[in-house]
Amino acid sequence: MTTSAIDFERLVSFDQFNGNREATARERIDDIRSAPVLILTELGAERITERGQAELYSLLQHRAEQLLPILWTSPFVRAQLAARYSQDRAALIIRRLEECSEVIRLERETFVSRSVRTPKARTA
């Protein structure tokens, strides 16, 4: 299995869809559309254009229809994530993510407290 990483924000930015770059960007998007596993990190942290949001939704839709796995992370809760996208696309993207995912919310305090616990000292 081949593993590759891409900067989705950069890939779908408006500049990438001009001239010869459009064919390259389209090929890359088609490749990730059918990848065995898609991992999206920091969803919502990117500055993504309307066209990029449309591509993201199309990607999520295709993977859902083909029952292909999507693993994703976001530093935002649902409402915050929705606010990061346009009104037209936010509900579609969030709904598709929720339909295809089991959302596990990690609280920073919980994570930190579990990761920095020190063992109790033994008494003699």
Q: What is the pTM of this model?
A: 0.71
pLDDT of residue 12: 61
Q: Is residue 89 part of a domain?
A: yes
- What single-letter DSSP state applies at residue 34? T
Domain range holding 32? 8-115
pLDDT of residue 118: 47
How many domains, in total, are found in the chain?
Answer: 1
- pLDDT(113) > 70: no
Helix/strand/coil (H/E/C) assignment for every residue in 87-117: HHHHHHHHHHHHHCCCCCCCCHHHHHHHHCC
Quote the tokens at residue 40.
């999206």
Supply the CATH number for residue 31's domain: 3.40.50.300
Instruction: Express each pLDDT in 24-67 by its tens digit.
Output: 777 888 888 888 888 888 888 888 888 889 989 999 999 899 98
